[in-house]
Structure 1
């Protein structure tokens, strides 16, 4: 067990300057008078389509910003509120995309209730995500969609793309989606108990409750960042003069408070098929009467792993790059941050977001139509092989260099 002192910095921080003391006093006063420092106003949006546990929103474009062509669809994971993409002003992926003039959409699922306990993963894979992609494409004038998905939302998006190869998808970007669950240290201590009880204890409890309740899901998310929880008071103290740091803490706290429940059957599938049996590790997933295979995805895929992600450690995410054998191009980047930080942390503004911008621009529909269509490979090629596939693996320190491309299955 790690002791609390071991989690704290070894050196005492420097003595604050008069300017820093004044800034700290201002931040404390602002927090006391106004209740916080962060600008938590959500970006304006409009509901354009809905269904069972499906709400599709279009973020309003800025009047003075020229609009680009291709739409971007942000896909939610279960349990997380949509604030993950719109954390706070100045550190919001939605705000970033809208400011660039990108038509930006988001699909979220609303509040999960006991009445939804019988919904399984197939609802999101076969209905919610495909419907959202098609509706976004139609709303944007028939253009192909750049799908951006985080955490379990990445699992839904990938399996939907594998299930429906005709979906109008221009590219995919996956943030922190664990594929090899055996590489997740948080789950490893649970495996002996799961094997001993054959999964019946958790399964029975979830069945009786109708799902995984909010407090349990929130606790699990917080457990993944236990070190930050322990050191949070100290961090606040030494950063009292840093309003951006304090605002980020406030925004993350609000995000955590907004975590919602999992529907019972879906949670049961995740527990038994992912935690217990690690079924997706080979890239295939049985759904109803068919087998979905990630190797059937042909669109370009960009994959991000967070350097300090406890929920989806880099090795658990990196395996995805070897499973996307049919994709025209696969890139993998390790970026700063934990599970949420890699998506919308302060460092994301200069790491993952510029990479995402470049990726979308590279695979824009206007660029594709201007290029000569690629010749289809001969029908006799090996199953799962794609000779046109490009692969590269980079970290955030490579931002200043143009990406290297290789046709190697081994990360660089």
Structure 2
């Protein structure tokens, strides 16, 4: 009797999983339930923790009761519970008035108790402990008094002053947003036109295949740095986070500094692209772009830069080139990009074997990971800022934020092919093969330590996608000259950090080739702090890693080699929805 399971039964299971995933937006119920079961089972056999939590509950109730009674006769009672420094929900002075202050304190006491209750228990899986703590925080946040108009003094005051007009405006905004979601027209008029208000740096598309368009930007100086820059953006979003409005376009800044810049613009995949592989992005993306740049500027090495997932791909490509003796790179820059995924931050809470299998079945059914399924995860990571605060402001206070170019880009999302994303999640996120010595390209393992060109790596302080300590781990797996920058801001805003942007600062330190490893915290203590944007520091570093003599600005494309300008930048692929 054969023990092989018939393929038809496997298909039934995958269809069932995919159907469930459509209702849960790709979040695996098993991944959440199993974490809670792990926590509850270990808590049930931990009488010490139970006693601790019971005493904490009585203590919190007593402090809250004392505060409430004392506040009835005096408004100078000290608050027993304080919000997290990053929690801005109760910043408005109106929360200092009774009874709203009591509502705030009652909520914070519950939040503090659950934070202690969901600490890791001896024997728990660490990932389950982190997941339970995260989920408990998000569930408690639902019941924050700031989310209920009759418990929120800011909303109550606005409603009284406007006679309810704010609620009518909020209802109008809600209906409009609901219709946008229902009709999938969320990328409507946001006041920013592609090619005019954003993505407007002059250039030409000089190459196109089924996966990329390669853009060469028009030089603005008579002479340029000899070595060109090739930028590899992430394909989880459109590339133009690096070419927003003119005053904070990184591409425009580089061109004006005298660099020849090439940019990859990824095609937005459809269900027909379900079997595109992760390595196709290296082969038909990075490597074909390098071939074209070499044709335009023969004999010149390339400064390659990768952002987010594009940086991870660039690291794989560079390690493969180093293994194969390909020395066409002059340097490598990683912007908020991870090479090691053992500690990838909050995003890892959504990635385990059960979750990956669940996502795979959903993508197998659709042919891709859809945009709203990805955005839901990112919103969950920062639900207070991205969901609750926005809902209160728009639907209860009746205030619409004025769209910014960064917001317009954020709403212009892309899909991810089934096979590529499955390979990425399993090979890198789940199994961490790249730094474990198990990532193979063309059936031969690659190693980051083979990369000998200088590296410039940027991490951002409040990055929820690529936490800076995870980005910093590239120090562990390389032996080359490495300049590391830690800038304030998040995953996107920390990179879009143009000169003159108020409040910008960064730490910078250089690790010479073959120097000893320094932990991330010690590095931060020793690194020099600079005020302002990190862009000039990067541009100066690129100039130092280039030939001293500048050369005449190049022509657009290489017509004699078949790379003629096809159409003006930003090309076709950036317009795909």
**Common fold by TM > 0.5:** yes
2:191 is aligned with 1:44: no
Q: Which residue of 2 aligns with 1:77?
A: 234
TM-score (norm 2): 0.53
Structure 1, unpaired ranges of 5+: 14-33, 237-245, 369-412
Deviation at 1:217, TM superposition (A): 2.4
Which of 340, 346, 356 in structure 1 is aligned with 2:492?
A: 340
Post-superposition offset of 1:209: 1.2
**Secondary structure of the structure 2 residue equivalent to 1:164:** helix
Residues 302/268 of structure 1: CA separation in 2 closer, same or farther (3 Å cut): same
> In terms of mean alpha carbon deviation, does 347-356 or 138-147 score higher?
347-356
**For 2:222 and 2:355, how far apart are their aligned partners in 1?**
56
Residues 340 and 471 of structure 2 are in contact (CA less than 8 Å); yes or no, is this contact kept in structure 1? yes
- Report the 3-state secondary structure (helix = DSSP H, G, I; strand = E; otherwise coil) of the residue aligned with 1:183: coil
Larger Rg computed on CA atoms = 2
Work out whether 1:264 is the aligned partner of 2:418. Answer: yes
Alignment of 1:11-410 (within 5 A): 36=191, 39-40=197-198, 42-62=200-220, 66-165=223-322, 166-191=326-351, 194-195=352-353, 197=354, 199-229=356-386, 230-231=388-389, 250-282=404-436, 284-325=438-479, 327=480, 329-345=481-497, 347=501, 350-366=532-548
Higher alpha-carbon deviation: 116-125 or 279-288: 279-288
Other structure's SS at 1:142 match: coil
2:199–2:240 Cα contact (<8 Å) kept: no
Q: Deviation per CA, 1:237-275, whole angstroms, max 9, x where unpaired?
A: xxxxxxxxx88x511221112110011111101222223
5+ residue gaps, structure 2, are 1-82, 95-188, 395-400, 506-531, 551-577
Report the Cα offset of residue 133 of structure 1.
1.7
Q: Aligned partners of 2:478 and 2:276: how far apart in 1?
A: 28
Cα deviation digits, residues 255-306 of structure 1 (max 9, x gap): 1121100111111012222232222343651234111111111111111110
* TM-score calculated relative to the size of structure 1: 0.72
Take 2:383 and 2:495, find their aligned partners in 1: how far apart are those partners? 19
Change (3 A) 1:319 1:138: same
- Verify the 8 A CA contact 2:463 2:489 in the aligned structure 1: yes
Whether the 8 Å CA contact 1:199–1:272 is kept in 2: the answer is: yes
Task: Give the Cα separation in 1 of the matches to 2:474 and 2:415.
Answer: 27
**Matches of 2:266 and 2:192 in 1, distance apart?**
29
Aligned CA distance change for structure 1 residues 153 and 41 (closer, same or farther; 3 Å): closer
Cα deviation 1:183-210 (Å, max 9, x = unaligned) = 233234335xx34x38422221111111
- CA displacement at 1:311 relative to structure 2: 0.2
1:343 alignment partner, SS class: coil
What is the root-mean-square deviation in Å for CA atoms of aligned residues? Answer: 3.1
1:227, CA displacement in angstroms? 4.2
